[in-house]
């Protein structure tokens, strides 16, 4: 089909990405506003923050299993967005802030799983779409925190989220076709000749999934534990957030073009010296986190590629659970600042794990165009 269909698919995918930013912004501004205006004490705010993250991230594998079974992608994203939007006015009702935290956490989890399903199914075996979807979350989170700390009104975030949700509700999920000149897999069979459905992965596949999830956990731990005293400067924080967003978005594009393993392993190793200097040098820190985050969409897409077809929600949920496990020491106050030696002790084994986990696993053919069959198939998983 025409290039217009390609542009439309990327446009819908970018709408999911913006909705992702709006969802994370709504959750952040709700929690910080409740703390700033006294609806939550310091202790209660800490407990609410932990419980919210438990619901929003650790529950995602269960939510993903349910979404896969019900075959809902777009429906889950729309439902999650509406739940999140409803949490903010609910939080203003005296005495029900705990219920609002539950609604926000569940809404966040359901939206992430729905958007993950849509982006992973847009081009199976490719990392670019899911990278575009997840990238703006960091920007939304930062904007929500800043707005909440400043006491800014939350309604603009809610209005933006509702407007984007309407667009998602009336749009077909993005679909891309693969070119036939796909790279060969380990067995030497092109993607065109692969069976349309995968069975449960063999033992080697499960080991690869475990290694990928471990790398995701390490990345989460490092990202939250890295000491960056200079990010108290607003403009440096904006530059840092921009670097994180750019890294996640570019990682899928570069990985699909140059290969998942070369990009992911090289990025992780190249980020090590930059992150070791990050505490003292804003330039090194921003560049290091940009490169560091190139690995994110590759690991996510690789987990989904190994698990059986039709389990994209569960795959996305597993990666978010790994993020939560890696973040747990920082969330609970057990983490300590990373020395260069500890950083190397974490990232070098992580790079080795990526090298083995991604062995022989290559992206499928390039994104080319939306097909009529793919567009029609969306109706069974929306």
Do residues 350 and 223 share a domain? yes
The DSSP output letter for 240 is: H
Residue 377 has pLDDT above 60, yes or no: no
Residue at 185 is within a domain: no
Which are the contacts of 96, defined by CB distance < 8 A and separation ≥ 6?
90
pLDDT score at 367: 59
Residue at 41 is within a domain: yes
Residue 182 has pLDDT above 50, yes or no: no
Do residues 228 and 87 share a domain? no
Q: Is the separation of the CB atoms in 364 and 127 below 8 Å? A: no
Do residues 64 and 84 share a domain? yes
Instruction: Name the phi and psi angles at 178, rounded to 5.
Output: -90, 140
The fraction of the chain above a pLDDT of 90, given in percent, is 79
Do residues 340 and 306 share a domain? yes
Which residue, among 57, 33, 55, has the nearest Cα to 45 in the 3D structure?
Answer: 33
- The tokens 């989890």 sit on which residue? 109
pLDDT score at 149: 94
CATH code of the domain in which 79 resides: 1.20.1250
pLDDT in tens, 65-75: 999 999 999 99
Do residues 174 and 276 share a domain? no
Residue 178 has pLDDT above 70, yes or no: no
Q: Is the separation of the CB atoms in 140 and 29 below 8 Å? A: no
Do residues 234 and 282 share a domain? yes
Q: Which domain holds residue 155?
A: 3-178+368-381
Residue 361 CA to residue 101 CA, distance in Å, equals 40
Does pTM surpass 0.85?
yes
Residue 125 — left, alpha, or beta (φ > 0 → left; ψ -120 to 50 → alpha)? left
pLDDT score at 138: 96
Do residues 29 and 104 share a domain? yes
């Amino acid at each position: 089909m025409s290039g217009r269909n390609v542009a439309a698919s990327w446009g819908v995918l970018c709408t999911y990405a913006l909705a992702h930013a709006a969802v994370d912004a709504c959750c952040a501004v709700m929690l910080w506003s409740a703390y700033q205006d006294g609806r939550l004490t310091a202790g209660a705010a800490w407990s609410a923050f932990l419980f919210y993250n438990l619901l929003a991230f650790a529950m995602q594998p269960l939510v993903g299993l349910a979404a896969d079974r019900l075959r809902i992608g777009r429906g889950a994203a729309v439902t999650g967005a509406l739940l999140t939007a409803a949490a903010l006015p609910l939080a203003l009702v005296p005495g029900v802030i705990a219920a609002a935290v539950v609604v926000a956490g569940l809404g966040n989890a359901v939206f992430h799983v729905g958007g993950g399903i849509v982006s992973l199914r847009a081009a199976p075996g490719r990392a670019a779409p899911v990278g575009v979807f997840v990238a703006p979350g960091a920007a939304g989170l930062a904007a929500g925190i800043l707005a909440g700390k400043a006491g800014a009104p939350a309604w603009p975030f809610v209005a933006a989220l509702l407007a984007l949700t309407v667009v998602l509700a009336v749009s077909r999920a993005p679909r891309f076709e693969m070119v036939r000149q796909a790279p060969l897999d380990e067995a030497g069979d092109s993607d065109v000749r692969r069976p349309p459905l995968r069975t449960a992965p063999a033992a080697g596949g499960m080991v690869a999934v475990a290694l990928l999830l471990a790398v995701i956990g390490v990345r989460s731990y490092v990202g939250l534990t890295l000491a960056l005293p200079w990010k108290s400067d607003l403009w440096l924080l904006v530059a840092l957030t921009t670097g994180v967003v750019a890294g996640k978005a570019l990682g899928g594009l570069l990985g699909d073009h140059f290969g998942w393993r070369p990009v992911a392993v090289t990025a992780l190793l190249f980020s090590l010296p930059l992150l070791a200097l990050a505490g003292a040098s804003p330039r090194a820190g921003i560049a290091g986190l940009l490169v560091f985050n190139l690995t994110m969409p590759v690991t996510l897409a690789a987990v989904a590629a190994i698990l059986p077809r039709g389990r994209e929600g569960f795959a996305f949920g597993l990666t978010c659970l790994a993020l939560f496990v890696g973040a747990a020491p920082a969330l609970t106050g057990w983490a300590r600042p990373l020395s260069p030696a500890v950083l190397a002790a974490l990232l070098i084994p992580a790079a080795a794990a990526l090298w083995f986990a991604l062995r022989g696993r290559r992206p499928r053919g390039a994104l080319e165009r939306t097909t009529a069959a793919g567009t029609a198939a969306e109706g069974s998983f929306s």
